[in-house]
Structure 1
Amino acid sequence: MTGVNKAILIGNLGKDPEIRYLEGGVSVASFPLVTSEYFLREGKKVEQVEWHNIVMWRKLAENAAKYLKKGRLIYIEGKLRTRSFEDKEGVKRYITEIVADSFNLLDKKIEGTTE
């Protein structure tokens, strides 16, 4: 039996997507997404905030750059990926990202968008 790697998030963009182009013209967009949930602690409502690193490739990246702006509420489906890299001091670091397969806008049209 094969495993399942599926992430579903609903949250707000922490900043506008940053798009860049790799060799061969392949586009990649990345941005932070914030989710929050609430629970009661000692009778008081407490917010638990979580930040997620989102990565989108090719046409999805182009659409993200075109339609997504800081603060927009979106639904994202994708998979978790952890990769390693070396920082400026040569220390191996790890980052976990959501590699998106699709997204849907959940909020109303924001002034200045073309949708």
Structure 2
Amino acid sequence: MNNVVLIGRLTRDPELRYIPNTGTPVSTFSLAVDKPLSREKKQEMEAKGQPTADFINIVVWGKQAENCANYLAKGRLTAVQGRIQSRTYDAKDGTRRYVTEVVAERVQFLEWGDDSSSNFNSSSDSDFPGIDGFEPVDDDNIPF
């Protein structure tokens, strides 16, 4: 079984290309996924300048690739479901390069808008304009 699910933030804007001859769109980006560390261990690693996240290369094909390029941006929280793929290629200098990446079958945009306050967890008075009976809920009053 080859299945992976990741949630993280984009480290750069997606790069969109089209395959010559077929015109198939392909988008690539990198996802920073936090390592499961205790608060103390995370602070210790940060103090030493060590990374507290893994940086995973993602490849998306087809219409979904165009959507990623159009709607995702650096820093956005994103979920990816897909499979791990390993491949090799010969670089221009003649050396053999090895690449491991996730080929995304599904990409879920977890944040929208120009800043991180515009995600699904935020609410404002304009969330339900013109609909009677709906009001924003104060998260502090929810018992769970």
TM class by shorter-chain length? Answer: 0.7 to 0.9
Q: Secondary structure at the match of 2:22?
A: helix
1:24 match: 22
Task: Give the aligned CA root-mean-square deviation in angstroms.
Answer: 1.6
1:44 match: 40
2:69 match: 65
- Counting only pairs closer than 5 Å after superposition, residues 1-115 of structure 1 correspond to structure 2 as 4-22=1-19, 23-40=21-38, 44-46=40-42, 48-110=52-114
Sequence identity (%): 39
The 1-side partners of 2:26 and 2:37 are apart by 36
Q: CA deviation at 1:108?
A: 4.1
The 1-side partners of 2:95 and 2:112 are apart by 44
The 2-side partners of 1:58 and 1:98 are apart by 15
Higher normalized contact order (CA 8 Å, seq sep 6+, divided by chain length)? 1
Gaps of 5+ in 2: 46-51, 116-144
Q: Aligned in 2, Cα 1:108/1:24: closer, same or farther, shift over 3 Å?
A: closer
Q: CA deviation at 1:38?
A: 4.2
Q: Which runs of 4+ in 1 moved over 3 A?
A: none
TM norm structure 1: 0.84
The 2-side partners of 1:13 and 1:80 are apart by 18
1:75–1:106 contact (8 Å) kept in structure 2:
yes
TM norm structure 2: 0.68
Measured against aligned partners, the alpha-carbon deviations of 1:16-71 in whole angstroms (never above 9, x if no partner) come to 1100111221110001111112424xx82316211000000011101101111110
Larger radius of gyration: 2
Aligned amino acid, residue 8 of structure 1: V
Gaps of 5+ in 1: none
